[in-house]
Chains A and B, each alone.
Chain A
């Protein structure tokens, strides 16, 4: 069975400071990994994805994530937080070589940005 753990349920940063949202996965399958963002009462929007190409992935709105196989991690970063980044963020895992191909989500991290 696979699982995704987002290590922080809440993260608070000041505007203009770096953002780090942590995600670890557990699976015996090769991964495809994703970060999604959700603003209040909206659906999830895809921020970026890792699909076994470059380990450093750039996404929308200045976010990027690095896949580290040895650490089974896929942490999301942004150099400088903006007020509009305040939202909930979800990490997701997809096994590439499993016929079930079920997308598994972490519990989410709520990012708060202080002015």
Chain B
């Protein structure tokens, strides 16, 4: 069974640009969550989608947005990139919202 797949694995962007990250959950999983991980702030929750609806949201500015498609795949978009957005972005999927999460390998975003 394939795990959680995140693409791309690495990304370099310039300040002011926007970026879209993609996440394909484990087959049959309906929940997808996104996390930002930085050395200074640790693991921070961005948002969670279940059956195409945003169910939980972390404390991030509106530049960070996401969506989930009918096949449960999810995308995360960051607009007007800032240097501080450089981080490892992790996606996780769950079968339901009361079960454990399985993580992808992450997308390493560097903003220059």
Contacts and interface: CB of A to CB of B under 8 A. Distances in A.
Interface of A: 32, 34, 36, 41-46, 49, 90, 92, 94, 96, 100-105, 107-108
A42 B56 CA distance: 24
Size category of the binding interface on chain B? 20 to 34
A1 B10 CA distance: 35
A102 B4 contact: no
B103 interface: yes
B90 A44 contact: yes
Contacts of B106: 41-43
Contacts of A34: 100
User: Interface centre among A42, A44, A45, by most B CB within 10 Å?
Assistant: A44
Interface of B: 4, 6, 33, 42-43, 45, 48, 55-56, 88, 90, 92, 97-98, 100-106, 108
B43 A42 contact: no
A13 B105 CA distance: 27
Given A32-B98, A43-B104, A94-B98, A103 B33 contact: yes
Nearest to A36: B103
5 contacts: A44-B103, A46-B101, A100-B55, A102-B45, A104-B45
A92 B42 CA distance: 13
Which 5 residue pairs across A and B have the least CB separation, nearest first?
A43-B103, A101-B97, A44-B103, A43-B105, A102-B56
A103 B101 contact: yes
A86 B98 CA distance: 30
